[in-house]
């Protein structure tokens, strides 16, 4: 029951981040700059350390999550180019947008939200103290996840109502993840391999998609500063939450 209640708090945190992004959509170039920094910080200060921690504990060869990192990066690049095959900018590497690309990105982020719930449930299977610690860590960065999910939808010209629907899906996913752990057991090794794939996906949409679009109307000191601020924000969240 405790794990379920904490997953509900994680859902509320995601909703808070998503609604903040919707309110700030008129300043989308600035929020995209912050989002890019948050994504970089999430990979550098959360996902990669967790991968190396799991490989150290389980003896898993680090090459496997690194291979899936590359697969994740290339897979989303291929998916994006496939979606844009009839788009006027199909042969251009300049910033481009398409609602289906935003939808694919948001669904991938929702999938990770589901794994956040799984992480909470698995931790509570160890003991209550570990479960509570993991839940606090998840809740602390779910605000950023909701913010990112909504921003990638808005960035790719999805209407706010559609962005809200994807936000609701992402918000409920940790709850479903916790419920799944009542019937299914996940190994740490499989989670490490998955985290590698997700890190590759995030690196792609952050560096190749969101950040270029944030500067598409001309680089500004404010946008650059917000990118740095987003990275610092995630460092603080992952180190002191």
Over residues 33-42, the pLDDT tens digits come to 887 888 888 8
pTM over 0.75: no
pLDDT at 83: 60
The CA R_g of the chain, rounded to the nearest whole Å, is: 17
pLDDT at 88: 47
For residue 168, how many other CB atoms are within 10 A of its CB? 15
Output phi, psi for 87, to 5 deg. -85, 145
pLDDT at 89: 46
pLDDT at 77: 82
Stretch 125-132: mean pLDDT: 69
Look at residues 44, 31, 33 and name the one whose alpha carbon lies nearest to residue 202. 44
Alpha carbon distance 84, 97 (integer Å) = 9
Is-contact 141 151, C-beta < 8 A?
A: no
Which token pair is 90? 């199909």
């Amino acid at each position: 029951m405790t794990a379920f209640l904490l997953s509900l708090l994680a859902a509320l945190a995601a909703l808070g981040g998503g609604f903040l992004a919707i309110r700030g959509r008129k300043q989308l170039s600035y929020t995209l700059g912050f989002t890019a920094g948050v994504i970089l910080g999430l990979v550098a200060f959360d996902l990669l350390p967790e991968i190396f921690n799991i490989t150290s504990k389980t003896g898993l060869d680090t090459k496997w999550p690194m291979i899936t990192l590359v697969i994740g990066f290339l897979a989303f690049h291929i998916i994006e180019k496939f979606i844009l095959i009839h788009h006027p900018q199909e042969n251009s590497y300049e910033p481009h947008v398409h609602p289906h690309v935003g939808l694919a990105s948001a669904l991938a982020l929702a999938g990770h939200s589901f794994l956040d719930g799984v992480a909470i449930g698995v931790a509570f299977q160890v003991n209550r103290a570990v479960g509570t610690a993991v839940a606090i860590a998840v809740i602390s960065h779910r605000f950023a996840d909701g913010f990112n999910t909504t921003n990638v939808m808005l960035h790719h010209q999805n209407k706010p109502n559609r962005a809200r629907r994807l936000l609701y899906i992402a918000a409920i996913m940790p709850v479903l993840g916790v419920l799944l752990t009542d019937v299914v057991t996940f190994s740490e090794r499989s989670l490490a391999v998955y985290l590698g794939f997700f890190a590759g996906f995030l690196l792609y949409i952050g560096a190749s998609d969101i950040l270029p679009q944030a500067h598409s109307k001309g680089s500004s000191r404010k946008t650059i500063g917000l990118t740095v601020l987003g990275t610092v924000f995630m460092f603080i969240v992952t180190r002191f939450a």
